């Protein structure tokens, strides 16, 4: 019988005698009895960088550069047991990152991205880039749940054209031209409104001046009349 202690970012996964349901027990420190086996599982989230190539509904290819930080759900014992059962997640004595887990994560991300992209047109992907990325995250997380994994952070960069298929570049140019034309129209409308406003202000000024002039003449006439009456 030996006493084992896991490190700060590790957990002991113990199997063997006395364990049936569940068949794996997790602990930070524990006595290991004869007939039992144990490994240390590293719970540190891992950084995965991918360049996923996918196709839209029109069979137009593009690249989705992404960085995912993924690790086991440390706040859920059931999820950590699922993670500990993954081939390669528990190597003798210690575990960092196995090729199997990397391939698993990559397969989930690429698979979900391609399926989602194939259901959308390139225009829909381009116009709704933010919602497209969010839907990718949601679908990937749903698949990772069954392996006890969680996306702790994800950063999908700007969608990239595949050489020879510069669709995003054309859409970007089109959007810029539309924005520039709209800005030009807005400026012309604002200038037109400004000129009309200036004319209206000049007209009001002229009307006010004429009104004041007429009133002054009336007052002057009245005063002249009063003056003549005083002389009589």
- pLDDT tier, 95 (very low <50, low <70, confident <90, very high otherwise): very low
- pLDDT tier, 93 (very low <50, low <70, confident <90, very high otherwise): very low
Question: Measured between alpha carbons, how far is 41 from 11 in angstroms, rounded to an integer?
Answer: 5
Q: How far is CA 208 from CA 32, 56, 198, 202, 223, in A?
A: 101, 66, 15, 10, 22
Q: Is the pLDDT of residue 56 over 60?
A: yes
Domain 46-165: give its CATH code: 3.30.479.30
Interacting residues of 183 by C-beta distance below 8 A, sequence separation 6+: none
- pLDDT tier, 132 (very low <50, low <70, confident <90, very high otherwise): confident
Q: What is the pTM of this model?
A: 0.63
Q: Is the pLDDT of residue 145 over 90?
A: yes
pLDDT in tens, 2-14: 898 988 888 888 8
The first and second tokens of residue 53, run together, are 């190539």
């Amino acid at each position: 019988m030996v006493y084992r202690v896991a490190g700060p970012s590790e957990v002991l996964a113990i199997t063997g005698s006395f364990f049936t349901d569940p068949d794996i027990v997790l602990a930070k420190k524990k006595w290991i009895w004869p007939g039992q086996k144990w490994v240390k599982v590293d719970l540190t989230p891992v950084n995965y960088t991918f360049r996923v190539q996918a196709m839209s509904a029109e069979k137009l290819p593009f690249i989705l550069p992404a960085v995912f930080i993924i690790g086991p759900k440390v706040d859920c014992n059931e999820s950590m047991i699922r993670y500990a059962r993954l081939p390669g997640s528990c190597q003798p004595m210690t575990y960092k990152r196995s090729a199997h887990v990397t391939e698993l994560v990559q397969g989930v991300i690429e698979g979900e991205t391609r399926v989602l992209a194939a259901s959308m047109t390139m225009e829909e992907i381009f116009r709704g880039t933010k919602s497209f990325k969010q839907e990718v995250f949601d679908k990937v997380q749903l698949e990772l749940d069954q392996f006890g994994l969680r996306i702790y952070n994800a950063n999908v960069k700007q969608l990239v054209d595949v050489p020879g298929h510069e669709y995003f570049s054309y859409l970007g140019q089109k959007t810029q031209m539309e924005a520039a034309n709209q800005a030009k129209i807005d400026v012309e409308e604002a200038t037109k409104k400004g000129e009309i406003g200036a004319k209206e202000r000049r007209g009001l000024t002229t009307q006010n001046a004429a009104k004041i002039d007429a009133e002054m003449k009336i007052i002057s006439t009245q005063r002249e009349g009063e003056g003549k009456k005083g002389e009589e």
